[in-house]
Structure 1
């Protein structure tokens, strides 16, 4: 266990881990197995599939909800905190720069890893971006796990595609900012926890504002500032993520799934589902049948 010194000031004990050339994993868990503070000599991309957590990178804190991406530079100290104790699902990708060097040489005009030093660690993604990113991660995990012929070259291609997306996304983000652990942050994340557990019930801005004793206008403003999503965007994303799992992991009828995840009409469900995933529910089910091999 090391003691890090930053700017001449001693910091609390922090673990160092040597990064693999490339590693990716997807897990649903309640607790993280990593120590509370750590760093490594590689680049990390963290994607929260579902749930809500707090994430600390150097001196910045982020309240992260499902559908958001974090990028962590080499040797940046970071830790994950799951104060709600509810399960969350995450994808973690860790790689070293050398993994890409032989296939994608860099030049002075464009360095695909420059996003990691921009200070913009946190990026909420809209529904279509989430769908695209999750498909990329799924392909990476399949290649990394099964290791078919040429898998390493395909992994590099997929990773480079992801890094270009991140580079372009970072350029559109406002100046880096983060939020402290004030009472309003905690209230918003009480609301997020509630929505994660009760997404299948009828939920409106007015009903949530009333339940949590906060004005509707202030609630909308603070929810967006703390999560990166509007209330409706977040609720729809949670519902559609659950619907996607039911479409591929059950034989329930589409109408039953729509009702089960909280949509009052098939028309509304179908429109939102296609808006977020790019597919109709039936086409999504057909395109994502489980691999029985």
Structure 2
């Protein structure tokens, strides 16, 4: 995936910048920057790419990224429908390494933050507990705050996150941020093609050709950079789409399977149960919202 260098533009006299995004979908390209970044997903779902890790994201996720760690959030397909029927929203705080060093070196009380800044080199994901959810929700307020208030609120949030036991690493232990134009451009082509064609049959030779690699080289390349096989990633993407269709439409299970790229119904059932723990029909019964009767 091609990682673009983003110019954050903190400007003189600013330690951090707060950005509030709202739209039908998240459309930022795969990118990196020398600043740290904390992203709070207010609403929206899809796939998150951080370093060599790919996984689903959802509302309430908090992610802390270290400098030059390539990343992007890609909304699920339903967010791209026209006219738009879903909304995506996030609050992003970007801050310089100088700010981190000054806080840790100049204010001894902030030394408790050292572990999360060191861990941010691999990316950290938090799922705040109920008691701390107000700290995550507070991220939605900084755009209306003064710069000084933003810094105070941000530091308070970081101190709360240090106490969170829900944090986990994203990129693998051996991963080192090293954006490379050729490699990232190749991954961009792979993911773009997959997102466009995952409902169809994608052969290994086909996707390897997109990456300009032999089949064997492609399999090694993809596993090294995502920690999963391409087939596993493709199935995860398809099952994720199937879950959405089962909950949001009245399509039969067989039709859902076909719409998600599974021509073999029994294979679809096996994979769906492996990923969710339920059969497609049971999943729909558990999670589909009841249809309200129309007023007479």
TM over 0.5: yes
Deviation at 1:66, TM superposition (A): 4.7
For 1:50-97, what per-residue CA distance to the aligned partner results, in whole angstroms no more than 9, with x for missing partners?
3576x6xxxxxx3764537883169x79896689xx9789785889xx
Structure 1 residues 80, 14: CA separation in 2 closer, same or farther (over 3 Å shift)?
Answer: farther
String of CA shifts for 1:88-139, please: whole Å, max 9, x gaps.
89785889xxxxxxxxxxxxxxx99945532443479xxxxxxxx8xx99xx
The equivalent of 2:26 in structure 1 is 29
Report matched runs for 1:62-141 at 5 Å.
62=51, 65-67=54-56, 71-72=63-64, 114-115=115-116, 117-122=118-123
Q: How many residues align structurally?
A: 223
Conservation of the 8 A alpha-carbon contact between 2:48 and 2:54: yes
Separation in 2, partners of 1:217, 1:115: 38
Q: What is the match of residue 237 of structure 2?
A: 238
Distance in 1 between residues matched to 2:257 and 2:69, nearest whole Å: 38
Deviation at 1:201, TM superposition (A): 1.0
Q: Within 5 A, what are the aligned runs for 1:37-48? A: 44=39
- Greater RCO structure (CA 8 Å; 6+ sep): 2
User: Structure 1 82/266 Cα, relative in aligned 2: closer, same or farther at 3 Å?
Assistant: closer
TM-score (ref. length: structure 1): 0.56
Contact 1:73–1:117 (8 Å) recurs in 2:
no
1:165 Cα offset (Å): 4.2
Secondary structure in 2 aligned to 1:273? helix
Match of 1:222 in 2: 221
Q: Does 2:11 align with 1:3?
A: yes
Query: How far has the Cα of 1:195 moved from its partner?
Result: 0.7
Give CA-to-partner distance per residue, 1:26-59, whole Å, 9 cap, x none: 9623359xxx88767xx64669943576x6xxxx
Residues 270, 81 of structure 1: alpha-carbon distance in 2 compared, 3 angstrom cutoff: closer
| Cα offset, 1:233, TM superposition | 1.4
1:72 match: secondary structure: strand
C-alpha RMSD of matched pairs (Å): 5.1
**1:50 alignment counterpart:** 46
| Structure 1 counterpart of 2:256 | 257
Deviation at 1:183, TM superposition (A): 1.2
Asked if 2 retains the 8 angstrom alpha-carbon contact of 1:14 and 1:38, the reply is no
Paired residues of 1:273 and 1:279 also in contact (CA < 8 A):
yes
Q: Is the 8 A contact 1:37 1:79 kept in 2?
A: no
Secondary structure at the aligned position of 1:28 is classed as coil
- Contact 2:273/2:279, CA 8 A, preserved across alignment: yes
Relative to structure 1, the CA distance from residue 2 to residue 259 in structure 2 (aligned partners, 3 Å threshold; closer, same or farther) is closer
Q: CA deviation at 1:205?
A: 1.8
Contact 2:65-2:120 at 8 Å conserved across structures? no
- Number of the residue aligned with 1:166: 167
Structure 1: stretches of 5+ with no match in the other structure: 6-12, 56-61, 96-110, 125-132, 145-158
Q: Considering only CA atoms, is the larger Rg found in Structure 1 or Structure 2?
A: 2
